[in-house]
A and B are shown apart, each in its own frame.
Chain A
Amino acid sequence: MRKNLPLTLLGFALAGSVQAADWDHKDIADALHSVMEADRTVYTKLIVNRLANQEKVIKASEHWKDDKALVLPAQMFRYGSEAVAEKGAKFSYSLLSLWPINKQNNAKTPVEKAGLEAVNKGEPYYTTETLGGKKYFTAIYPDKAIAKACISCHNDHKDSPRKDFKMGEVMGGVVLRLPVK
């Protein structure tokens, strides 16, 4: 035991750091969202907006498989979230809006409704809610029009309930939920 004392102490130290006791739900949510937002921005700007709008070499389409086109940024985000769910991750996230093209992505729970209204001012919204008997820490982050592709697609889509989005405007929100014990 004495021989292994330094190793044991290192183990305790590592175990302590793994627990990340100084990170609260908000910190974890913010960290997860920063990765999501960065990837979403990169895909939207460097892939979709560049290839479809600037260089016009390929289209982006909701029916990307049939149209042999790029996956839309919102679909890319959703497929990622579904893949995370399939892996059995303990958190969940989705891209919602008060003006969704797909009506299933409308605000549904009271927190989503309040949160999506709140993030219109551009700041995140944090709260807790109970869904299906379980308690969640819910963070909602504004999702803004960062490229022409965002507004042109939503303003022109036949199922879009709003057709006057401008660059930089909040178009919806990323809703991230962490279970609370």
Chain B
Amino acid sequence: MKRLAKYRVWWVWLGASGLLAAWLAYAIQTPGQQANFMPGKVTHAHHQIELQCMACHAEPFKGREGIQEACLSCHAKELKGMNDSHPISKFTDPRNADTLAKLDARQCVSCHAEHKAEITRPIGVTLPDDFCVRCHADIETERPSHKDIAFTSCATGGCHNFHDNRALYEDFLIRHGHGDKVKSDAKLPERHLRDFMVYMEYLDGEPITASGMDGRIELRPVPQVVKDWEHTAHAKAGVNCSSCHQAKDESDTLAWIRNPDHTACTSCHKAEVDGFLTGLHGMRLKQGLSPMQPGMAQQPMKPSAAHDKLTCMSCHGSHRFDTRKAAVEACLTCHDDGHTRAYKASPHFSLWHEEISGRGAKGSGVSCATCHLPRVEIITPEDEPRVLVQHNQNDNLRPNEKMVRSVCMNCHGLQFSLDALADGKLVAGNFKGMPSKQIESIQMALEAEKRGAARKAAGDPNADEE
């Protein structure tokens, strides 16, 4: 007994340590408690899933490699699609060992570290503005025209992006030149999903009317639902009740579902649903969490919508599937920032108003969706081209030059597009007015081309040294 008393302090220490370890083990696995372990605030991009630690930290003890895999599990497709200017595969060659010592571009977190709010800049970048200098310090020997340009302006001056330069590369600037402010044939590409589904023989495309509905007995739709559905593209394309309301259950038997979720939409709209689940609207669903609610957002949202749950139906509405409502009114139900509030006073809205009132041509109006859920041409998994409404509204948002090709240039020349997007005030006011300054890159590219041509004509063997 005396012996035990001698070690009493040790027993207390051991007991306390055991209790602490048990609490830590419990807390780190308990959703409500995990916030205690957060090493710092996460970025706007990931705050919705911040307590789903394993979404990024993947497997324990897998270190940076595990985190990199997690980054790519959501972002690889987007990087591939944008023809990434700095793909990881460019840096894995051992010849780049010296470059990697300056900046390990094989890891997303080298530039986009999470939980570091104090050094996080726009687009989640956690490096100083002049990060390009680390590898491109000698740029003026290759491009003398860049001699007096500060490295802090490479990625902030409307000229270059680290990943996406599809609208910024030199030959693109030369080919499109300054262009018109507004093109004479300004218009959006048309959607043609029904034609695609019929062409691929996924649908026969034969319209169905109320008498042909197949879920009347099982679902007992009220007259308004029948009426709504009958006027949709679904009914016109032969999409019956069972297409959305019937699915195989656990025993592999077809069962009727009263309230289908986004998985029902994937049978025809997989690419759209994938986009939705990748963006801020659907990323919680992708992680198996409850739907996003505007009240959780970090951006200004209307208090009246705080508890709405974001699913496909939030914007499209069940049975009516009004894409015009989804393109403007659905957005305005929740979003309440300055750019959104300024929309109805913008020239873009005037065009939209003209189109929906039947006075403007089809595809001539500019809705919220025109820019933020753009119509883009994709190659489907079947290797066929089709116009897709990109439902990841974050896909082209930052840096905003990503919008130039997929959105702006449908209607505007390149110079006007670059200038407008670089003008923060103009963006905040929803493009009411004119850009305040001109981005120089097009002029620089055209002048370099001209100088080269002149030297070539004069017989200079190094005519194109720029």
Contact = CB atoms under 8 A, between A and B. Distances in A.
A83 B89 CA distance: 8
B142 A82 contact: no
A108 B91 CA distance: 14
A88 B169 CA distance: 30
Contact of A131 (B83, B94, B452): B94
A85 interface: yes
Given A62-B171, A66-B172, A103-B142, A163 B94 contact: no
Instruction: Give the interface centre of A66, A158, A164, A175 by most chain B CB atoms within 10 Å.
Output: A158
B77 interface: no
Given A63-B171, A82-B87, A163-B461, A158 B93 contact: no
Interface in B439-457: 449, 452
A164 B90 CA distance: 29
A132 B100 CA distance: 9
B83 A94 contact: no
Contacts of A134: 94, 97
B323 interface: no
Query: Interface extent on A, as a size class?
Result: 20 to 34
Interface in A136-177: 136, 157-161, 163-164, 175, 177
Interface of B, secondary structure class, is: helix
Nearest to B449: A158
B464 interface: yes
Nearest to B453: A158
A124 B436 CA distance: 58
Interface of A, secondary structure class, is: mixed
Nearest to B142: A103
Contacts, number: 54
B150 interface: no
A131 B100 CA distance: 11
Contact of B95 (A63, A131, A158): A131
A109 interface: yes
B457 to A, nearest CB: 14
A92 interface: yes
A159 B143 CA distance: 10
Given A62-B171, A66-B172, A159-B464, A177 B89 contact: no
B123 to A, nearest CB: 24
A86 interface: yes
A136 B94 contact: yes
Given A62-B171, A132-B100, A158-B464, A175 B89 contact: no
Contacts of B462: 161
A158 B461 contact: no
Given A62-B171, A163-B461, A164-B461, A82 B90 contact: yes
A165 B207 CA distance: 64
A108 B89 contact: no
Contacts of A92: 92-95
B9 interface: no
Nearest to B138: A103
Nearest to A164: B461
Contacts of A175: 95
B90 A132 contact: no
A94 B93 contact: yes
A112 B97 CA distance: 14
Given A132-B100, A160-B464, A86 B89 contact: yes
Nearest to A62: B171
Contacts of B92: 85, 92
B101 interface: yes
A58 B88 CA distance: 31
Given A66-B172, A160-B464, A132 B97 contact: yes
A163 B97 CA distance: 31
Nearest to B465: A161
Interface string A76-90: 000001110110000
A3 interface: no
B171 A85 contact: no
A136 B94 CA distance: 9
Instruction: Give the interface centre of B92, B101, B462 by most chain A CB atoms within 10 Å.
Output: B92
A108 B97 CA distance: 11
A121 interface: no
A65 interface: yes
Nearest to A158: B464
Contacts of A65: 83
A82 B94 contact: no
Contacts of B464: 157-160
Interface in B82-132: 83, 87-90, 92-95, 97-98, 100-101
Contacts of A103: 142
A63 to B, nearest CB: 6
A104 B135 CA distance: 10
A158 B90 contact: no
Interface string A31-58: 0000000000000000000000000000
Interface in A109-129: 109, 112
A108 B348 CA distance: 51
B410 to A, nearest CB: 16
A163 B455 CA distance: 14
11 contacts: A63-B169, A66-B172, A81-B93, A92-B93, A94-B93, A94-B95, A131-B95, A132-B97, A132-B101, A163-B461, A177-B95
Given A83-B89, A94-B93, 7 more contacts: A62-B171, A82-B87, A82-B89, A82-B90, A94-B95, A131-B95, A160-B464
Which 8 pairs across A and B sit closest by C-beta, in order of nearness? A132-B97, A82-B89, A158-B464, A131-B97, A131-B94, A85-B92, A85-B89, A92-B93
